[in-house]
Chain A
Amino acid sequence: MKNTKALLVIKNASYQYSDAEDGEYALLDVSFEFEKGKIYAIRGRSGTGKTTLLSLISGLERCTEGDIIFDGKNLRDINLDYYRSHDIGIVFQSYNLLPFMTASENIILSMDASGIKVADKKKRALELMRSVGLKDSYANRKVLRLSGGEQQRVAIARSLSYNPKMIVADEPTGNLDKQTEEEILEIFKNLAHEEGKCVIIVTHSANVCNQVDKVFDLKKVK
Chain B
Amino acid sequence: MFIFKNALISITRNKGRNILIGIIIMVIAAASTITLAINNTASDLINSYQSAYDKELTITFNRENMTKDFDFSKREKLDDMKEKFNNISSYTASDVEKFAESDYVESYYYTYDVSLNGHNIEKATSEKMSEEGDSDIPSFPGGGGGMSRSFGDSSYDFTLNGYSSLEAMSEFIEGTYEMVEISDDAWEKAFDGNYAFINEELASYNNLKLGDTFKLEDEDGNTYKFTIIGIYKENESGNAGPMNLFSNSANTIITNAAALTAITKANSNVKGSINPTFIIYDYNDKDAIQAEFYKKGLDENYVVETNEETANAGLSSIKNVQAFATTFLIITLVIGGIVLFVINMINIRERKYEIGVLRTIGISKPKLTMQFVAELLIVGFVALMIGAGIGAVMSKDVSNSLLASEINSSKESSDKIKGNFGGPGGFNPMENGGPMGKISGKGKPTVQAYESIDAVVNISVLLELLGIGLTLILISSLAAMISIQRFTPLTILKERS
A binds B: yes
Q: Which of B357, B359, B490 contacts A98 (CB 8 A)?
A: B357
Q: Which of A82, A86, A93 contacts B497 (CB 8 A)?
A: A93
Smallest CB gap from B364: residue in A: A81
Report A-chain residues with C-beta under 8 Å of the C-beta of B363: 81, 85, 113
> Is B362 positioned at the interface, with any CB of A under 8 Å from its CB?
yes
> Is A195 positioned at the interface, with any CB of B under 8 Å from its CB?
no
Name the distance in Å between A34's Cβ and chain B's nearest Cβ. 20
Query: Interface of chain A, helix or strand or loop or mixed?
Result: helix
- Let me know if B490 and A114 touch, CB within 8 A: no
Report B-chain residues with C-beta under 8 Å of the C-beta of A96: 356-357, 360, 493, 496
- Let me know if B354 and A98 touch, CB within 8 A: yes
> Is B327 positioned at the interface, with any CB of A under 8 Å from its CB?
no
Report B-chain residues with C-beta under 8 Å of the C-beta of A81: 359, 362-365
- Let me know if A114 and B488 touch, CB within 8 A: no
- Let me know if B360 and A90 touch, CB within 8 A: yes
Given A55-B490, A60-B490, A94-B497, A84 and B357 contact (CB-CB distance below 8 Å): no
- Let me know if A86 and B362 touch, CB within 8 A: yes
Given A109-B2, A112-B2, A113-B2, A60 and B360 contact (CB-CB distance below 8 Å): yes
Question: Interface size bucket, B side?
Answer: 20 to 34
Name the distance in Å between A152's Cβ and chain B's nearest Cβ. 14
Q: Which of B6, B357, B365, B497 contacts A97 (CB 8 A)?
A: B357
Smallest CB gap from A110: residue in B: B361
A60–B494 Cα gap in the complex (Å)? 12
Report A-chain residues with C-beta under 8 Å of the C-beta of B360: 60, 84, 90, 96
> Is B489 positioned at the interface, with any CB of A under 8 Å from its CB?
yes
Number of A residues whose C-beta is below 8 Å from B?
Answer: 26
> Is B74 positioned at the interface, with any CB of A under 8 Å from its CB?
no
Q: C-beta contact mask, A94-128 vs B, less than 8 Å → 1, else 0?
A: 10111011000100011011100000000000000
> Is A158 positioned at the interface, with any CB of B under 8 Å from its CB?
yes
**A51, A83, A94, A109 — most chain B CB neighbours (10 Å):** A109
> Is A92 positioned at the interface, with any CB of B under 8 Å from its CB?
yes
Report A-chain residues with C-beta under 8 Å of the C-beta of B489: 60
> Is A61 positioned at the interface, with any CB of B under 8 Å from its CB?
yes
Smallest CB gap from A114: residue in B: B362
Q: C-beta contact mask, B408-431 vs A, less than 8 Å → 1, else 0?
A: 000000000000000000000000
> Is B330 positioned at the interface, with any CB of A under 8 Å from its CB?
no
Smallest CB gap from B357: residue in A: A96
Q: C-beta contact mask, A191-209 vs B, less than 8 Å → 1, else 0?
A: 0000000000000000000
> Is B358 positioned at the interface, with any CB of A under 8 Å from its CB?
yes
- Let me know if B13 and A100 touch, CB within 8 A: yes
Q: Which of B364, B488, B497 contacts A61 (CB 8 A)?
A: B488
Smallest CB gap from B12: residue in A: A100
A85–B276 Cα gap in the complex (Å)? 81
Q: Which of A61, A82, A98, A101 contacts B362 (CB 8 A)?
A: A82
Interface residues of B in 349-377 (CB under 8 A from A): 354, 356-365
Name the distance in Å between B75's Cβ and chain A's nearest Cβ. 90
Report B-chain residues with C-beta under 8 Å of the C-beta of A112: 2, 5
A96–B5 Cα gap in the complex (Å)? 20
Name the distance in Å between B374's Cβ and chain A's nearest Cβ. 14
A51–B494 Cα gap in the complex (Å)? 10
- Let me know if B490 and A85 touch, CB within 8 A: no
Smallest CB gap from A161: residue in B: B361
Smallest CB gap from B366: residue in A: A81
Report A-chain residues with C-beta under 8 Å of the C-beta of B358: 98, 109, 113
Name the distance in Å between A73's Cβ and chain B's nearest Cβ. 16
Report B-chain residues with C-beta under 8 Å of the C-beta of A98: 354, 357-358
A82–B361 Cα gap in the complex (Å)? 9
- Let me know if A85 and B362 touch, CB within 8 A: yes
Interface residues of B in 309-363 (CB under 8 A from A): 354, 356-363
- Let me know if B13 and A109 touch, CB within 8 A: no
A98–B5 Cα gap in the complex (Å)? 15
A199–B332 Cα gap in the complex (Å)? 57
Report B-chain residues with C-beta under 8 Å of the C-beta of A110: 361
- Let me know if A60 and B364 touch, CB within 8 A: no
A55–B364 Cα gap in the complex (Å)? 17
**B9, B13, B359, B363 — most chain A CB neighbours (10 Å):** B363
Report A-chain residues with C-beta under 8 Å of the C-beta of B357: 96-98
- Let me know if A109 and B361 touch, CB within 8 A: yes
A32–B493 Cα gap in the complex (Å)? 25
Name the distance in Å between A95's Cβ and chain B's nearest Cβ. 10
Smallest CB gap from B2: residue in A: A112
Report B-chain residues with C-beta under 8 Å of the C-beta of A113: 2, 358, 361-363
Interface residues of A in 46-97 (CB under 8 A from B): 51, 55, 60-61, 81-86, 90, 92-94, 96-97
Report B-chain residues with C-beta under 8 Å of the C-beta of A55: 490
**B9, B359, B361 — most chain A CB neighbours (10 Å):** B361
Report B-chain residues with C-beta under 8 Å of the C-beta of A105: 9
A60–B488 Cα gap in the complex (Å)? 8
Report A-chain residues with C-beta under 8 Å of the C-beta of B359: 81
A113–B489 Cα gap in the complex (Å)? 15
- Let me know if A84 and B361 touch, CB within 8 A: yes
A110–B13 Cα gap in the complex (Å)? 19
A113–B13 Cα gap in the complex (Å)? 20
Q: Which of B2, B361, B497 contacts A158 (CB 8 A)?
A: B361
A85–B364 Cα gap in the complex (Å)? 10
Smallest CB gap from B354: residue in A: A98
Smallest CB gap from A159: residue in B: B361
Smallest CB gap from A93: residue in B: B497
Q: Which of B2, B13, B362, B493 contacts A84 (CB 8 A)?
A: B362
Interface residues of B in 464-497 (CB under 8 A from A): 488-490, 493-494, 496-497
Which positions in B face A, CB cutoff 8 Å? Answer: 2, 5-6, 9, 13, 354, 356-365, 488-490, 493-494, 496-497
* 8 new A-B contacts at CB < 8 Å, known A85-B362, A90-B361, A112-B2: A61-B488, A61-B490, A84-B360, A96-B360, A97-B357, A98-B354, A98-B357, A109-B361
Question: Which 7 residue pairs of A and B lie closest in terms of their CB atoms, listed nearest first?
Answer: A85-B362, A112-B2, A84-B362, A81-B364, A60-B490, A113-B363, A55-B490
15 A-B residue pairs with Cβ-Cβ distance under 8 Å, sorted by A, are A51-B494, A55-B490, A60-B360, A60-B488, A60-B490, A61-B488, A84-B360, A86-B362, A90-B360, A97-B357, A98-B354, A109-B358, A110-B361, A112-B2, A113-B361
